[in-house]
Amino acid sequence: MRSDNVTKGAERAPNRSLFYALGYTREELDRPLIGVVCSQNEIVPGHMNLDKICEAVKAGVRLAGGTPVEFPAIAVCDGIAMGHVGMKYSLVSRELIADSTEAMALAHQFDGLVMIPNCDKNVPGLLMAAARLNIPTIFVSGGPMMAGTMTDGRRTCLSHMFEAVGAYKAGKLDDAGLEEYEENACPTCGSCSGMYTANSMNCLTEAIGMALRGNGTIPAVYSARLRLAKHTGMQIMELVKKDIRPRDIMTAAAFHNAETIDMALGCSTNTMLHLPAIAHECGIEVSFDMANEISAKTPNLCHLAPAGDTYMEDLDRAGGVYAVMKELTRKNLLDTSLLTVTGKTVAENLEGVENLDPALIRPIDHPYSPVGGIAVLKGNLAPEGCVVKQSAVAPEMMTHTGPARVFDSEDDAIAAIYAGKIVSGDVVVIRYEGPKGGPGMREMLNPTSAIAGMGLDKEVALITDGRFSGATRGASIGHVSPEAALGGPIAFVEEGDLISIDIPSHTIELKVDDATLAARKAAWACPEPKIKTGYLARYAKLVTSAARGAVLE
């Protein structure tokens, strides 16, 4: 066993003495040591319950003959970090999580790992670590939040809460109305209740084969989540015994499956950052271009919030991720021969699975759309590409041409939006918010929600080299690459330039001739870095394009 390096032989007597100092017995040290990476903290609603999940995992490990050893991973609450400098630390935490987990796992020579993440960057960060370490690993998340309920019986969620601020600023909602959303949008622990980034990534962890059935959808407050955690703890011992490792599961075909399921579910655009980054750790390239190829063949089967008015608890009741996968197999859109953490193939896992609610998970012959939930657009404004969640775009905004309203930061843009300076037809451009220019590639949920809350989401587009929350809806186009700080064409857009967006044709064009753009580029100078010290400064020096997953080199 790998743990023999710290527990066996006379030369390891000093190591054992330190285990004894921790209270471990000789009998426990004779069993496989299983690292249990618990992301519990008291600042993220999706993580406040992870101590309970962790205890259940450890019980499962012990039941199956292993010795669980808990250690922590950090997590940032994107909602609390939103709208200020804190959001610069969200995406960058992904790399910190991967690096620190690598350090702990190799320093202490665990035989296997159980990862317990839940929220946005915590899930991909731990998947990156799992791929990098390549020791037997399994995931169980903390589970999604329940949807909220307003006093009139309407269901609600975090995306409604952010949009309520826009409505308030537009005079469409009073203080009491805003407070009602505040008190009801997030009623329980768990990852926020729509198909936002956290739930997208937890569903895709299940889809790619790294978690047991129900990981993405069983609500955080259900006891079934604790039973899932116990079974996960038991299953890691099987993976250790059979030496089934992450890269045996996360193959190129598995990433193809994951993107296919992503398109069917209508996941967050942030998956277009995280899947390439996880694949990179596996030595696999997942390109932007792959998204459109898969989307063209994959119908969109689900419209969970923010695209629709259903929530994760509804998807769970309908059969969860496996029911969506079952629909996709009806048109042979998945490779079902692939190995998963169950020790079985995808085909074996899907035996007997049914779609229990065809109104929520559309049958594959009656989809919401014949194409997937995400589209990559290219053109002279984004030569390397940019991303939009097309399943959450109103039909009238699938094509749009309008004048650019240009802002060099999210803060300037949100001030203009709140002041009523953005009008029907405008294309809001927010730049110098990319991975390097931000630094940190902030989410733009505040401006997109303000636009939606003011009733302009069917009339105004937003384009940025930053990114969006999974809670964003409307013609919100992010990850513009190359970013402004690298001299990408978005840096040369001027107020009033016409921008043409054609989502069905996958194009985005700045209606300015090449000679004019060349002259603007010649006169351009990159602004001084916004942050010159600390982790963000180091990150800015190492980070690559959003088109490559914003990985570090």
Boundaries of every domain in the chain: 31-146+188-349, 149-184, 378-548
The greatest distance separating any two alpha carbons of the chain, rounded to the nearest whole angstrom, comes to 76
Whether the CB-CB separation of 234 and 61 falls below 8 Å is answered with yes
**Is 469 designated active site?**
yes
**Total residue count of the chain as it appears in this document:** 553
- pLDDT reported for residue 471: 82
Residue 343: both structure tokens together: 């020790």
Q: How far is residue 308's CA from residue 86's CA, in Å, rounded to a whole number?
A: 29
Question: What is the architecture of the domain spanning 31-146+188-349?
Answer: 3-Layer(aba) Sandwich (3.40)
Residue with tokens 């997590």: 75
pLDDT in tens, the chain (553 residues): 999 999 999 999 999 999 999 999 999 999 999 999 999 999 999 999 999 999 999 999 999 999 999 999 999 999 999 989 999 999 999 999 999 999 999 999 999 999 999 999 999 999 999 999 999 999 999 999 999 999 999 999 999 999 999 999 989 999 999 999 999 999 999 999 999 999 999 999 999 999 999 999 999 999 999 999 999 999 999 999 999 999 999 999 999 999 999 999 999 999 999 999 999 999 999 988 899 999 999 999 999 999 999 999 999 999 999 999 999 999 999 999 999 999 999 999 999 999 999 999 999 999 999 999 999 999 999 999 999 999 999 999 999 999 999 999 999 999 999 999 999 999 999 999 999 999 999 998 889 989 988 889 899 999 999 999 888 889 999 999 999 999 999 999 999 999 999 999 999 999 999 999 999 999 999 999 889 999 999 999 999 999 999 999 9
Which of 141, 191, 268, 469 is catalytic? The answer is 469
pLDDT in tens, 510-553: 999 999 999 999 999 999 988 999 999 999 999 999 999 999 99
Residue with tokens 């790399």: 95
SS3 (DSSP) at 173: coil
Report the sign of the C-alpha dihedral through residues 177, 182, 188, 193, in that order: positive
Whether the CB-CB separation of 141 and 114 falls below 8 Å is answered with no
Q: Which of 78, 73, 88 is nearest to 126 (CA)?
A: 73
Strand partners of residue 236: none
- pLDDT reported for residue 469: 85
Instruction: For residue 306, say if its preceding peptide bond is cis, omega within 30 degrees of 0.
Output: yes
The reply to whether the predicted model has a pTM over 0.85 is yes
Q: Which of 415, 410, 408 is nearest to 524 (CA)?
A: 408
The CATH number of the domain covering residues in 378-548: 3.50.30.80
